[in-house]
Structures are given as C-alpha cells and as structure tokens.
Amino acid sequence: MMRLGEIAAMRATVDEAWRSEIADRVGGRWALDPGSLRWWRSSASHVFVLPDGVDERGVLYVRFAPASDPAGARLAQGAALQERLRERSAAVAGPVVSRAGRVVERVPTAAGEMVAAAVLRVEGEEYDVDDLDEARAFAWGTALAGFHRAAGPAGAAGAAQSPRHDADLEALGADPDPRVAAAARTVRTASRALATGPTVVGHGDFELDNLRWRSERVVCFDLDESGPMPAVADVAAATRDVFDDWASNPGAPGLLRSFLSGYEDASGVAVDHRALIVHRAAVAAGSAAAVARAVGEPGPPPEDLAELADRLREHEARERQVLVTAAALLG
C-alpha cells in the first residue's frame, strides 16, 4: 500500500467531480479526453475509471503509482504478467495498450513520474465469503490452480522455503508486544523446517475481491503482488479470510478444505496444513508491516484520511492477532 501522504497528495488534486489533472495527463497516453477519468480509489495504486458510454472500448480502469515508490514497480510487473497471460487465453482482465502500443507507460506529471497501466472492466458476479458454499470454494481453488498452470513454471524449489515476508517476521521478532515477538520467532523457526514444495508464478492476492465469476469461470485482476513464490504461499494469500474461520476450528470441514480440495484436484499438489499456517502467518506479518509503513509518517494523518488511518490500524491489529493465533496452531 502507498503511504497516506502520497494518497493525500493525490486526493488534493481531485475536484468535486472526481477529476484530476494528474489522471488527465496519464489518460492522455490512452487517448482519453481531459476530464473523462473519475477518481475511484487510492491504495496499492491510484485508480481512475472511465465511465460507461464515454469510449467505444468500454469501461476502463487506469491505474498508476509513483515510479519512485515500490508500488510503481509492482504495478509494472503485474501488468507485464497480465499481458503474457492474456496472450495464453488465461482468465485474467484484458490489458489495454496505449497509443504507443505499450501495456505499461511511464508518464511525467506535476506530481512526479508515474508508472501506469489500463485494463478493461471485468464483467461477472462479485462474491464475498458469505456468498460462498463448498462448491464455489472448490471452484475457487480450481481457478487458482488454473492461474498457476497458465503462468508457467517458476523453477525448482529448494530444500526449504522461507515465507515471502521473512524480513517482516524477523523485524516483528523484536516487537514491543511480547506475544507478537514470540509468535514471529516461532513462525520463522517453523519455516526453516518446511518440506520442499513446488514454486509457481503466483498471483499473490487471489482473494475474492480481485475476482469476478462468470458461472464457473473465474476471472482475476490486480496482479501487483504476482511473482515467483511457493505454491502454498499463494494459497495462503488467497484464502486468508476463510483460513481465519478455519483457525478457530481446524477440525471442521468447510470452505478452506473445499478450496484446498479444488486446488489439489486441478494441480495435483496437496497443500500441507502446517506449511499453510506458516505462510498465512507470513502474510499477516507482511500486511501488518505494510500498514505500519503506510501510516507511520511523522505526525497525525491528513484530516480527510483519519478514518482510513483508523481502519488500517484496525486491520494491522487483526493481522498481528492472526500471527499469534497461527503460532499457537504450530505448537
């Protein structure tokens, strides 16, 4: 997630009609008229939407982030993978090429150079956890396996697999909260003993809010967190919400087990539960660290972002608790 200061600076350029001169500058690379884009949200990137009926290409989402911020590099990496996957007819949102024929543009603006990409709106149903049954959870797991298959191999795994957020776990090992510090150390120790598993080109955030459903076909978008990773790490990132329900009753069947069954059925890979717990804890550590970086600037957050800062801090507290719970499950 970008820092609140960056989000506040962008918000300051947005007028009462949700237009921004920065977005206009970026949109020009896609031949969009000034004033046609409307601010949608800012989090991992700034997102502006081209409403229905404005352009013959349909509803477009233009996403951009500062080239000087890691968010810009992640956006470019995800857009490049998205283009490759579309060329393979994978179930991902359609990237829109710029006037210059590029999927990713670097655009100088009054707010600095931006890395930008555009995608078509994905039609379909949006589900949350309350909308799932075991059949849909199975299809969700099958869809992630399909993504891994389409993305292709990422190389052989080593004898052990450290979580993607190992550095965040290491930092939390010195946290002022002794429960969090002890949990982080427990998880890092457990990660060193994990059995070898396959490495994939993962989505990194195959959660329900990044998916649209067309009957049983699942189409994904927002590939900013994509890249080589253990398959179990991608499963852990995707299922974080249903994992949290399962963690309170690990012996129960239900959505997580159905997801894992769907993934195994389609990929041939059985996800080890202990490895899943380790990687879910790593996701929690990464989420908590990302929030701390986003809201950790000196002084209070900008007044119009105080509510967002509060919600993020609540999320950070929940993820820190997930880390503690996961450590307890690891024994």
CATH number, span 4-120:
3.30.200.20
The pLDDT tens digits of the residues spanning 204-216 come to 999 999 999 988 7
- Say whether pLDDT at 249 is over 80: no
* Closest of 275, 277, 285 to residue 166, by C-alpha: 285
Distance, CA of 113 to CA of 290 (rounded, Å): 23
* Closest of 12, 129, 112 to residue 72, by C-alpha: 112
* Contact status, residue 126 vs residue 60, Cβ threshold 8 Å: no
The pLDDT tens digits of the residues spanning 117-126 come to 999 999 999 9
pLDDT at residue 245 in the model: 77
pTM: 0.92
pLDDT band, residue 219 (cuts 50/70/90): very high
- Taking residue 126's Cβ as centre, other Cβ atoms within 10 Å add up to 12
Total length of the chain: 331
pLDDT band, residue 17 (cuts 50/70/90): very high
- Say whether pLDDT at 158 is over 80: no
For the chain, what percent of residues have pLDDT higher than 70? 94
Residues of the chain with CATH 3.90.1200.10: 129-330
Distance, CA of 184 to CA of 172 (rounded, Å): 6
Helix 231-238 with 273-295: angle, nearest 10 deg: 60
pLDDT at residue 157 in the model: 44
Q: Round the average pLDDT of the chain to a whole number and report it.
A: 91
Beta pairing, strands 46-50 & 60-66: antiparallel
Residues of the chain with CATH 3.30.200.20: 4-120
Distance, CA of 216 to CA of 310 (rounded, Å): 37
The pLDDT tens digits of the residues spanning 27-66 come to 999 999 999 999 999 999 999 999 999 999 999 999 999 9
For the chain, what percent of residues have pLDDT higher than 90? 80
pLDDT band, residue 161 (cuts 50/70/90): low
CATH superfamily name and code, 129-330: Aminoglycoside phosphotransferase (APH), C-terminal lobe (3.90.1200.10)
Tell me the three state secondary structure of residue 295. Answer: helix
- Say whether pLDDT at 271 is over 90: yes
